[in-house]
Structure 1
Amino acid sequence: MTSEDEPIPVLIVGGSLVGLSAAVFLAWRGVPTVVVEKHAGSSLHPRAIGYTTRTVELFRAAGIELPPARHEGPPRRARVESLAGHWHEEYPWTPGNRAATAGHSPVRGTAIAQDRLEPILRERAVELGADLRPDTELTGFTQDDDCVTATLSVRGGQEYRLRARYLVAADGARSFVREKLGIGRDGRGVLSVQRSILFRAPLEQYLDQGVVQFEIEQPDLKAFLTTYSDGRWVLMVADDVDLDERQQYTLVRQATGLPDLPVELITTGRWELAASIADRFSSGRVFLAGDAAHQLPPNRGGYGANTGIEDAHNVAWKLAAVLSGQSTPDLLDSYDAERRPVAWLRHEQIFARADYKAHIRTPTSDVQIIDEQAMELGQIYRSAAVLGASGELPPARRPELWAGQPGTRAPHVRVRANGAERSMLDLFGHDWVLLSQDGEWSAALAHATAELGLAATFVHIGTDADPLEPDAFRDAYGVADDGATLVRPDGYIAWRTRTAPADPAAALTDALGTVAHAAGNR
């Protein structure tokens, strides 16, 4: 067995959607990364299709532009006898929800099949310097105080060892890494075993009303039908029965209500509809992300794939900060503290909604349904990497109601910067950023960064970035003219002072040192 003895910074296990996203986010931050994936490429089944506004923001910052969806907001769903038969009713993902992301972001969510998105991520990861190794499986690993030693097996028989400072496990719901670490899971568990049929058929006329998901209800057939918006459709049934090709054709035509429909069968699948959250998202130098950390059933909020992509983004900036020496390893403890509550909140919200009413354990759900925009752009992080996010605050609320609350995503404000109209979100991404309308904070930041050895940028609001609307910054960020807001490299607010303290340099140095090193973990 050969060995690559010099430790690499990060090894990612799993080269599907979340693993590739982690590779992009790490490589974009200059972190050398190796990704191993036991398969040769993407699954024949497209799986995820909907990507939220926040996911599009994260990809955009890393240089990946995705086309916007034709329709804003979650996919529309109807309960029908069949496509060609009677349509009973349409119901929303969030009852009574107000209009969507207008004003909250420079972008909006999109729909693209996972097997179309993954090649885009691969190309960008390689362009940024990531080392992708398909047909390579993790067969064992150990960890000590210095690194993780992984045993890898290449299809064809070659086996070798690779050492990494840290390991990110994005190896799916049946994660080998999670099981080897002995990390348990909680949640609703397995809801059903689904069989799916992926096919092509000329059904575009049934999309004219904007509905793209259909619950089929017939006396002898209960199924779910949806489109990938590229000519491909998937039919899912809860009967765990093998069907031959003739039976598959029959079932598709029964669900569509079109007995003469020309159908091209592509592939079939068998998978568990389940909801499970890992008891912890990290163990030593190993971090769980995506389905390895939380298996969430498909839903119109996009809580599965998008939650995993946000995991990858969260852990990536923290690993980059620690590996560069900008932060201490204590910062990594905030990954579990921030991401696991998000997974649990989304788990609860899935089963509070009508899509999963059959799985509610009581006559009605006692969980309050949270607004779509609150769930997508208004969840709060509480950890040692945030100052001022108390436990009394709600887990999520609409972005405009937070008004710059520490622990929440920094708000979008339209500004003119470098001679062009931009979003304030474009100012965040790599380093810490201090925002203020008072130029005196520049000297305070210079003092703090010199004292702490951190990279940070001061943005003078009104000069470096001039809001297009009067008072837009003050209203969105909740600070007076002499106040300041500290934004983390992931675009979340770490600290804020509404007005200038007696000693701005001392206050900022203390705050930045605390959140950058997550000193509260000690």
Structure 2
Amino acid sequence: MSPIPVVIAGGGTVGLATAVFLGHHGVPSLVLERREEPSVHPRALGISPRSLEFFREVGLSERIDAAAVHSAVAWKADARTAAEIDWSRRPATPTPAGPAGLSPVVARGHYPQDRLDAVLAPAARELGAAIEYGVAVTGVEQDDEGVSVTLSDGRVLHTRYLVGADGVRSAVRDALGIATTGPGEIGAPTLNILFHADLASRFGAMPAMTEIRHPDAPGMLLAVGENRWVFHTGYSTEEDREPERCARVIRTALGADLPVEIVSVLPWRATARLARRFRAGRAFLVGDAARAVTPLGAFGLNTGLADAYNLAWKLAMVLAGQAGERLLESYHEERHAVAELVTRQALLRWENPRLHWDPAAVAERAAAGAWHASLVIQGYRYDSSAIAGPVAPLPSTEDLAAVLDGSPGSHLAHRWVEASGARVSTVDLNGSRFAVLAGPDGQDWCDAAGKVTVERGLEVRAVRLDAAWAASAGIGAAGAVLVRPDGFVAWRSPGPVADPAAALGGVLATVTGKP
């Protein structure tokens, strides 16, 4: 029997997204989740425009947007109780946001993880994945041909590659012997209490997020659906987790004696932990198995989705024989560096929340070494064996538009352009494949892309765009950029060269790790 191409340990949001992205590239997978059923808990809520672009690429935009929660006002309030919220203090710009117009997608609200999972699981199955609940990975052995995965039910599966998406206490990471760095658990023990209550009938519209200051019930109240809420609050004993006690605490935080139905209580602690390596042979770590960060900034889930997105196209190309094994090493090179960045940025915000919540705190962020939140998620640059050409330092840690300048290692900037008689976003032009985007006089580059497509057995799309786009990408009218399947600029030629096919072929050999 042929081995399973990819086994994914962990059926949470990142594991399911990994299966979706692999399936989009034609790779079937098996997802193993140790829980008996999908989690009903919302957990993380914030999805960045970049993450939404991932789902747009795989055709899930409508389903993902339908899962969004927009039953509350997009504002972070601060009050003794919910009954004492001062609406006159609602700011004009309530939360840090990236510049408008830098993505073809717009967030429709909060995206609770349980709702995302309800979209991703069937989508993964539609794309060829199988999902099993109630089974965990207990052992991992590997050789040059594949990985043998021992399961909690006694089975031993054989797979070409293993992906550990099994969370902070990753069994895969432990089985691989990968050590971690970082302070570990840094926050106080906290309860994430999911409850149903009709707050609108008592208070009217509610903020999406309210920091409660009541001394007997301090915490954070978050809207996660119609009459559905979570309250994060500290606890010290097991009795504090009992539903009756949780309901009393919530009513204190609300400042009103309302009916409260406790649905689920999830204990957690803020954690900062980073695996030393994201790859060990044929096994890879993604999401919280690779790194865990503090929640302020909504960096954790978005970083995990980007891990999955980065790894999927690389595994697909290697499995198809279109790339060499060296391409897989670039997964660690790229995503580990991003994880180090995200960990630092999350810890800075944990120590000083103003760095995140105050859009005007530019000087304070600069002094602390903090980046604007939009850059942490969308503005980093890859510097790895899968990038050809020098990677320049960031021109700004505040201005995302300035960072997306067409430099090698940066993400291709979104712009609406005319291509093949239609108005499209530049981020859609590569279509999950390599693409050459050339200036208006760059027909030689397009011809070269066609030649390389035949010679290398690798689909390379080619599009000529106008002079305004070319200037924004840092090239002349006869220049071009090579965009990877994940939308990152792999290489840039400011102008024409003597032999564009040879130049492009050499760059693709470097990027794919296949001479």
- With normalisation by structure 2, the TM-score equals 0.88
**Higher alpha-carbon deviation: 249-258 or 506-515:** 506-515
What is the correspondence of 1:189-268 to structure 2 with a 5 Å cutoff?
189-191=184-186, 192-204=188-200, 211-241=207-237, 242-243=239-240, 244-258=242-256, 260-268=257-265
Aligned residues of 2:449 and 2:504 also touching (Cα < 8 A): yes
| Residues in 2 aligned to 1:106 and 1:88: alpha-carbon distance in whole angstroms | 32
Shift of 1:240: 2.8
| Residues in 1 aligned to 2:204 and 2:197: alpha-carbon distance in whole angstroms | 16
Shift of 1:389: 4.2
What's the counterpart of residue 121 of structure 1? 120
- The counterpart of 2:429, out of the listed 422, 427, 430, is 427
Query: Using a 3 Å threshold, how does the CA distance of structure 1 residues 151 and 394 change in structure 2: closer, same or farther?
Result: farther
Shift of 1:268: 1.1
Deviations 1:61-93 (A, max 9, x none): 11101228688xx9632321111125599799x
Query: Using a 3 Å threshold, how does the CA distance of structure 1 residues 116 and 351 change in structure 2: closer, same or farther?
Result: same
Shift of 1:320: 0.5
Amino acid at match of 2:104: P
Query: Using a 3 Å threshold, how does the CA distance of structure 1 residues 91 and 303 change in structure 2: closer, same or farther?
Result: farther
| Residues in 2 aligned to 1:95 and 1:421: alpha-carbon distance in whole angstroms | 32
Aligned residues of 2:99 and 2:401 also touching (Cα < 8 A): no
Aligned residues of 1:80 and 1:88 also touching (Cα < 8 A): no
What's the counterpart of residue 292 of structure 1? 289
Shift of 1:393: 4.2
| Residues in 1 aligned to 2:52 and 2:77: alpha-carbon distance in whole angstroms | 26
What's the counterpart of residue 172 of structure 2? 177
**Higher alpha-carbon deviation: 128-137 or 56-65:** 128-137
Shift of 1:180: 1.5
What is the correspondence of 1:117-516 to structure 2 with a 5 Å cutoff?
117-154=116-153, 159-191=154-186, 192-204=188-200, 211-241=207-237, 242-243=239-240, 244-258=242-256, 260-299=257-296, 301-353=297-349, 357=353, 367-390=368-391, 392-393=393-394, 398-402=399-403, 403-437=405-439, 438-461=442-465, 471-516=467-512
Shift of 1:312: 0.3
Shift of 1:104: 0.7
Shift of 1:430: 2.5
Cα-Cα RMSD: 2.8
| Residues in 1 aligned to 2:473 and 2:134: alpha-carbon distance in whole angstroms | 48
1:57 aligns with 2:53: yes
Shift of 1:95: 10
Query: Using a 3 Å threshold, how does the CA distance of structure 1 residues 75 and 338 change in structure 2: closer, same or farther?
Result: farther
Aligned residues of 2:416 and 2:425 also touching (Cα < 8 A): yes
| Residues in 2 aligned to 1:393 and 1:52: alpha-carbon distance in whole angstroms | 20
Shift of 1:490: 0.8
Shift of 1:188: 3.2
Task: Select the structure that is richer in helix.
Answer: 2
What is the correspondence of 1:39-118 to structure 2 with a 5 Å cutoff?
39-65=35-61, 66-67=64-65, 76-85=75-84, 87=86, 100-110=98-108, 111-118=110-117
Residue 51 of structure 1: SS of its match in structure 2? coil
Residue 351 of structure 1: SS of its match in structure 2? helix
Aligned residues of 1:80 and 1:89 also touching (Cα < 8 A): no
Identity %: 39
**Higher alpha-carbon deviation: 208-217 or 339-348:** 208-217
Task: Select the structure that is richer in strand.
Answer: 1
Query: Using a 3 Å threshold, how does the CA distance of structure 1 residues 52 and 172 change in structure 2: closer, same or farther?
Result: same
Deviations 1:90-122 (A, max 9, x none): 799x9995x634221110224222111112111
Amino acid at match of 1:189: G
Query: Using a 3 Å threshold, how does the CA distance of structure 1 residues 425 and 6 change in structure 2: closer, same or farther?
Result: same
Query: Using a 3 Å threshold, how does the CA distance of structure 1 residues 480 and 401 change in structure 2: closer, same or farther?
Result: same
| Residues in 1 aligned to 2:204 and 2:306: alpha-carbon distance in whole angstroms | 33
| Residues in 2 aligned to 1:51 and 1:518: alpha-carbon distance in whole angstroms | 35
Shift of 1:480: 0.7
Shift of 1:128: 1.1
| Residues in 2 aligned to 1:444 and 1:245: alpha-carbon distance in whole angstroms | 66
Q: Which residues of structure 1 form unaligned runs of 5+? A: 463-470
**Higher alpha-carbon deviation: 382-391 or 55-64:** 382-391
| Residues in 1 aligned to 2:332 and 2:94: alpha-carbon distance in whole angstroms | 31
Shift of 1:505: 2.2
| Residues in 1 aligned to 2:267 and 2:487: alpha-carbon distance in whole angstroms | 38
Residue 149 of structure 1: SS of its match in structure 2? strand
Deviations 1:303-356 (A, max 9, x none): 111110110000000000111111000001111111112122122222323775
| Residues in 2 aligned to 1:141 and 1:118: alpha-carbon distance in whole angstroms | 26
| Residues in 2 aligned to 1:183 and 1:75: alpha-carbon distance in whole angstroms | 40
| Residues in 1 aligned to 2:89 and 2:341: alpha-carbon distance in whole angstroms | 25
Deviations 1:206-226 (A, max 9, x none): 887773222222334422221
**Higher alpha-carbon deviation: 34-43 or 320-329:** 34-43
| Residues in 1 aligned to 2:396 and 2:453: alpha-carbon distance in whole angstroms | 32
What's the counterpart of residue 466 of structure 1? none
Deviations 1:283-306 (A, max 9, x none): 11100000100111222x321111
- With normalisation by structure 1, the TM-score equals 0.87
Shift of 1:262: 1.5
Deviations 1:394-431 (A, max 9, x none): 69663421311111111111123344322122222432
- The counterpart of 2:13, out of the listed 17, 38, 48, is 17
Amino acid at match of 1:458: A
| Residues in 1 aligned to 2:453 and 2:420: alpha-carbon distance in whole angstroms | 24
Aligned residues of 2:303 and 2:377 also touching (Cα < 8 A): no
Query: Using a 3 Å threshold, how does the CA distance of structure 1 residues 89 and 226 change in structure 2: closer, same or farther?
Result: farther
| Residues in 1 aligned to 2:85 and 2:103: alpha-carbon distance in whole angstroms | 38
**Higher alpha-carbon deviation: 306-315 or 123-132:** 123-132
What's the counterpart of residue 467 of structure 1? none
Aligned residues of 1:379 and 1:397 also touching (Cα < 8 A): no
Amino acid at match of 2:133: P
Aligned residues of 2:77 and 2:85 also touching (Cα < 8 A): no
Task: Kindly tell me the number of residue pairs found equivalent between the two proteins.
Answer: 494
Q: Which residues of structure 2 form unaligned runs of 5+? A: 356-363
